Amino acid sequence: MRHWLAVDKEVWEGRALAEGARERRFEDRVVERLRALPDGAVEASVQRPHRLVASVRPERALEVCRLLKDMGFDHLSCVTCVDYEAELELVYLLWSYTEGCLIELRSRISGEEPRAPSLTPLWPGAEFHEREAYDMFGVRFEGCPNLRRVLLPEEWRVFPLRKSFKIESVHERRKRLVAERARAAGARAEATASAPPPGGSGGGAAQ
């Protein structure tokens, strides 16, 4: 007679295999759908169980996200950005509650005039993610109903998470101010030296 522990182990292993097969089927189905989109709009792969990675052209991002939402990725958990200077890479994290699966969707955009379609038609909560990406990186999300800064003052014209943004240390600021004062003093001295003497070079007083 087989020991009950051996039977119990087989049952649990069978359940684990069945669950793994179900998960793989879902992940493979998502990858197949994405790869089947026309014009090679998406490159997708299974990174590990419960995790997918895909790259999409920016003009197709809204279309692909709509497809993913229809397939069960019902939660947009994050929209962030990576600065490669010449380009920015938008990173969307989409989560499926029913399948317990996460997909990381990446999209490269221009670093000079970063623009991307807004995802607010699909997930209204995307507005706050997009506002933060605009605030920190300067990405303009076309169609976002309230694209304004969420952390920094509206009058700022800098984006502090861009690599082009430099933080000035106290020592650097002191050196800069000293150099600016020295240049200003030199300019004043030069202007004084080149100015004509008081009274000019006219003739003497009338007799």
Beta-strand pair 51-56/101-110: parallel
Could you give the CA distance from residue 99 to residue 115 in angstroms, rounded to a whole number? 32
CB neighbours of residue 82 within 10 Å: 13
Res 27 pLDDT > 80: yes
Pick the residue with more confidence: 201 or 85? 85
pTM over 0.85: no
Report how far residue 120's alpha carbon sits from residue 142's, in angstroms, rounded to the nearest whole number.
10
79 closest CA partner among 118, 129, 150: 129
Beta bridge partners of 88: 83, 109
Residue 97 is predicted with a pLDDT of 95
pLDDT of 182 over the 50 cut: yes
Q: How confident is the model at residue 167 (pLDDT cuts 50, 70, 90)?
A: confident
Q: Compare 79 and 188 and report the one with higher pLDDT.
A: 79
In angstroms, the CA 119 to CA 123 distance is 6
Q: Domains in the chain and their CATH numbers?
A: 20-185 (3.30.460.80)
Tell me which DSSP letter residue 194 carries. H
Whether residue 31 is predicted with pLDDT greater than 90 in this model: the reply is yes
Quote the pLDDT of residue 75: 97
What's the pLDDT tens digit per position in 89-147? 999 999 999 999 999 999 999 999 999 999 999 999 999 999 999 999 999 999 999 99
Asked if pLDDT for residue 45 goes beyond 90, the answer is: yes
How far is Cα 53 from Cα 58, in angstroms, rounded to an integer?
16
Contact 105, 37 (CB under 8 A): no
